[in-house]
Structure 1
Amino acid sequence: MAATVTKLKTARRGTRNTSGPTVRAAIDAFLDTPKIKGNPNTLRAYANVLDRTADQLDAERALADIADAEIGDALTELWGDAKPATWNRNRAAVGSWLAWCADKQHWTAPALPGSAERQRENNDDTKAVSRSRIDRLCRRRDLPLREKTLWRMLYESASRASAVLALNVEDLDLPSKQAKITTKGGDTMWITWGTDTAHLLPRLIAGRERGPLFLSERRPGPHRKATADPRDICSETGRARLGYDRARVLLAHYGNGLRLHQLRHSSATHLGDANVSANVIMAKTGHKSLRSVQRYVKPGLAAVHEATETLSSPRRRG
């Protein structure tokens, strides 16, 4: 049996085009596939991971010359110290690209080495933070308007950060406090926000009619501007769309280690604590099943404290 499997693998390798492309050309071809380029959020996420990987490997080398171990070394160098969820997500992106090169294009390509294993992601029941903590953070006087608006919108909309960062000014329906986004699976849905975000948005937009809603601090350099998607550059200011990594770093800095996904997680948990039905929470967060929503709507710590007080003797309550 083992001998048969070996022969099959050898036969497959024999059908590949061993000349093959460079690392850069292989990445560009993968990003140009309908499944990837059809969703701007997916394209942006894959491009960020694969571009950094290409820089680590030397983008102009032939893909066929890259060894499995070099892929493992690149992953470790870039994300070896990251949290398991980040490691697993980026590892999967590189693995999808390499598998596409080998299986769909029949190019000689490396594979993920055994040393680059998927890491275990432990459950974290402290992901949801209190509403008061979010309010205090967003009311800080030293907080830039852009960050304040982004974090308010992430919390009030319970949407994924990647989708909110992909919003353009023309996507917004300000009077109705809603916008149309593209979800992780490529579907479209409406997100809604509350009064706090509604007060901040006009100040952030400052009269702009088109272009990315959340902009970077500076204009991109010539190379970045030449390679960026034109939709990610504001025609009025010349500034680029704020990236996920930069947004993540800023929240961790101002929020004492707070993570972007915690705002979405906290929103769903607080809605559950307020006895909002799971069906409504599912519609708001864009999840496909109630089972997925149940991870978010477990009672939060505030609800647990309130329940605990019922166990105290009546004369000591309050």
Structure 2
Amino acid sequence: MGVVHRIGADLQAPALKDAIEGFLTGVSNPNTARAYAAALRALAEKFGPYTSVTAVEGEAAADRIAAWFIERWGSRSAATVNARLNALASACGWWRDQGWITEDPLRRLKRRPVEVDRTRSLDRAEVAELLGREGIALRERTLWRLLYESAARASEVLGLDVDELDLRNRRAKVRRKGGAVDVIVWRTGTARLLPRLLDGRRTGPVFTTNRRARVELPPADIEAGSGKARLSYRRAAELFEAATGGWTLHQLRHSALTHAAEDGANTSTLLAYSGYTSVASLARYARVSSEALARWQAGRDPAARKA
């Protein structure tokens, strides 16, 4: 049987290094880009940065990639393995879209099942992978990023109306648990998504259902122009847990507070960020991870600095 060649493919396909940089350039979130780069640049080291990206195709290449991946990350946690695999899969999918490759170079590898701990903080790589994942609807992408960037409770964010948003200053007034009015703030990622989600709307709930409400609801929970209802906490939680294999919306808040503590936020800042008035309430969410503690110790180690 003859071999089928893609006409002009080798002439058009860039070096692996350039293919990786091209993909990373299109990843808008810097945290996601950094997480993806760790896996992709390791791949370039294995195959050679100036080798054509087509080198990842073929049965021999698939075997080689699987053996390399298992050797490099096989002993790591399921979350790390899946995050690295997702990074490679996203890049390979993009390369296929460009017409540079036609196969799935990762076909020998499978995601690992994750034992879900619904109380723990997610690590930064997990959050970056989730928020940068392909194929997530705009509503969910905006909601999840806003929850993480603001550290707000899901009920607080789902209760937002469009006229409560200060898009220019990246903030909004929310009603905290217990009824106190407070302000949440967000970063560039959310600031880019919200105008797309609102699409010119000036009133009504920020997050709405995909269809018109089928039952009578209070006027405040209906978007007048479309008749769509405010998205419920139950539905938002169901969609999140289905997409993540069991994580909870609350874990985004938990993770945001933990990461802020790891980055050196003081107690006053964490209290304002969380909306708590009690340090005791804050303490359980702002526990620094063992990895962050190790980095802190390494940074204080005089011998390490001299080396």
TM range (shorter): 0.5 to 0.7
Distance 1:125 1:274, change over 3 A: farther
Please say which of residues 284-293 and 169-178 is displaced more in the overlay.
Answer: 284-293
Superposed counterparts of 1:90-109, under 5 Å:
none
Work out which of the residue numbers 224, 227, 230 in structure 2 matches 1:235. 224
After TM superposition, give the deviation of residue 298 of structure 1 in Å.
1.1
C-alpha separation in 2, matches of 1:132 and 1:285: 22
Tell me the distance in 1 between the aligned counterparts of 2:201 and 2:118.
41
User: After superposition, what is the alpha-carbon deviation per residue over 1:269-312, rounded to whole angstroms, capped at 9, x for unaligned?
Assistant: 00000111011110111101111111111112431443576899
Question: 1:230 & 1:149 partners in 2: Cα distance?
Answer: 24
Runs of 4+ in 1 over 3 A off after TM superposition: 307-312
Task: Provide the rounded CA distance (Å) in 1 between the counterparts of 2:260 and 2:300.
Answer: 24
Cα shift readout 1:55-88 (whole Å, capped 9, x = no counterpart): xxxxxxxxxxxxxxxxxxxxxxxxxxxxxxxxxx
Aligned partner (choices 139, 143, 156) of residue 150 of structure 1: 143
CA distance in 2, matches of 1:191, 1:181: 7
* Cross-structure match for 2:241: 252
Secondary structure of 2:143's aligned partner = helix
Deviates more, 1:192-201 or 1:250-259: 250-259
SS of residue in 1 equivalent to 2:122: coil
Q: Which of residues 110, 117, 121 in structure 2 aligns to 1:128? A: 121
What are the within-5 Å matches in structure 2 for residues 106-255 of structure 1?
127-221=120-214, 224=215, 226=216, 228-255=217-244
Q: Cα deviations across residues 221-268 of structure 1 (Å, max 9, x unaligned)?
A: 1xx1x2x11110100111001000000011111122110000000000
TM-score, normalised by the number of residues in structure 1: 0.56
Cα separation, 2, equivalents of 1:292 and 1:125: 18
Distance 1:307 1:207 in 2: 45
| TM-score in terms of structure 2 length | 0.58
Contact in 2 for aligned 1:279/1:290 (Cα 8 Å): no
Seq. identity, %: 41
Supply the distance in 1 between the matched residues of 2:294 and 2:122 (Cα, whole angstroms). 14
What RMSD over aligned residues (CA atoms) do the two structures have, in Å?
Answer: 2.5
CA deviation profile, 1:111-150 (whole Å, cap 9, x unmatched): xxxxxxxxxxxxx796110122112111122100000100
Alignment-mate amino acid for residue 306 of structure 1 = R
Q: Using the alignment, how far apart are the partners of 2:164 and 2:290 within structure 1? A: 36
Any stretches of 5+ residues in structure 1 without a counterpart?
1-123
CA contact (8 A) 1:220 1:239 kept: yes
Following superposition, the deviation at residue 185 of structure 1 comes to 0.7
| Distance in 2 of aligned mates of 1:216 and 1:252 | 17
Query: Is the CA contact (8 Å cut-off) linking 1:130 and 1:302 kept in structure 2?
Result: no
Distance between the aligned counterparts of 1:297 and 1:182, measured in 2?
22
Q: Does 1:274 align with 2:263?
A: yes
Distance 1:275 1:311 in 2: 14
